[in-house]
Amino acid sequence: MIKTEELTRKFGDFIAVDHLNLQIVRGEIFGFLGANGAGKTTTIRMLCGLLMPSSGRIWVNNLDVAKEGEKVKKSIGYMSQRFSLYQDLKAKENLEFYAGVYATPRAEAWENTLPLLEQFGLKESLNMRTAELPMGYKQRLSLVCALVHNPPLVILDEPTSGVDPQARREFWQVINQLAFAGKTVLVSTHFMDEAEYCHRVIIMQAGKEVALGPPRELKQRFEVQNMQELFMKVAGGINAKLK
């Protein structure tokens, strides 16, 4: 589904992402872990075609992002770490807007989103202004908007920051359902407990891969009890120094 080859991005002298090689398969939940500034968001932005790589290549769905970025965008549903829906539009109007942007016929858009809206308890709030929704609901609405065109690849950049634990669990249920339905899900997070839900994770530090694999395997390899310890072991050292 996604393949990167020696993916690198520099901002001036600063190397945000350093020769990253990734291969993500269909139906996988793939987690990006790392401290702030480790290069998670930069990588994700390059995968979406928002940023040009300084060097290296990316294929999404067998399409070269550098050459066919616009085609790639059709197959991606993206939710950024900042809440980015129009606050002055109603929830329904936001959905309609994104359906229109992806040129998804209205009936199809409803088909794609209705089950989720019901599951999230959003159906009753569709006529509310987005600004009036509670934070947790805004986050859910963002996810629904990202799925309005039924994309095979869903990219979520820290989707659960600022959401209460109950809502986070529900959110992950939905992510599991998406993967089960055959979608590839890319999630970045800094909640280590969430990493346990991923099929595979990559731990990044200063733009480099420091560990990559299924959580269980990684725990065994580094002889730790949980992901939190693992993270402290492989990426904690420098982090501690930074503080």
Partner 1 sequence: MKGLGVLSTFIKKEFRQIMRSREMLLVLFLLPAIQLLVMGFAVTNEVKHIDISFFDLDRSIQSRRLMEAFSSTDRFHLVEVGEQDRPELQLFRWKSKVVIVIPAGFERKLAQGRIPALQLLLDGIDGNTASIANAYVQSCVKGFTEGYLRGKDPRRVGYMLQGQKASEIIIQMSFNPDLQSNLNIIPGIIAVLVTVTSMLLSAISLVKEKELGTLEQLLVTPVKKYQLLIGKILPYLLITLLQLQVAVLLAGLIFGIRVAGSYWVLTLFSIVYLFTSLGFGIFISTRVESQQQAMFFSWFMMVIMILLSGFFVPVQNMPQGVRWVSFANPLTHYMTVLREIVVKGSGLMQLKEELLVLLGGGMLVFGFGILSFRKRV
Q: Toward partner 1, which CB reaches closer, 15 or 234? A: 15
Beta carbon of residue 18, minimum distance to partner 1 (angstroms, whole number): 20
Residues forming the site for partner 1 (CB under 8 A): 45, 48-52, 70-71, 73-74, 76, 78, 80, 82-89, 93, 96-103
Closest approach of partner 1 to the CB of residue 94, in Å = 9
Nearest distance, CB of residue 126 and partner 1, angstroms:
15
| Smaller CB separation from partner 1, 16 or 203 | 16
Q: What is the dihedral of CA 228, 30, 143, 43, to 10 degrees?
A: 90
Secondary structure, 3-state, the chain? CEEEEEEEEEECCEEEEEEEEEEECCCCEEEEEECCCCCHHHHHHHHHCCCCCCEEEEEECCEEHHHHHHHHHHCEEEECCCCCCCCCCEHHHHHHHHHHHCCCCHHHHHHHHHHHHHHHCCHHHCCCEHHHCCHHHHHHHHHHHHCCCCCCEEEEECCCCCCCHHHHHHHHHHHHHHHHCCCEEEEEECCHHHHCCCCEEEEEECCEEEEEECHHHHHHHHCCCCHHHHHHHHHHHHHHHHC
Q: Which is nearer to partner 1, 140 or 200 (CB)?
A: 140
- Closest distance between partner 1 and the C-beta of residue 101, in Å? 5
Shortest CB 69 distance to partner 1, Å: 8
Write down the least CB distance from residue 192 to partner 1, Å.
26
Residue 242 has which token pair?
């930074």
Which CB sits closer to partner 1, 67 or 221? Answer: 67
Shorter beta-carbon distance to partner 1: residue 85 or 201? 85
104 and 110 in contact (C-beta within 8 Å)? no
Nearer to partner 1, 66 or 234 (CB): 66
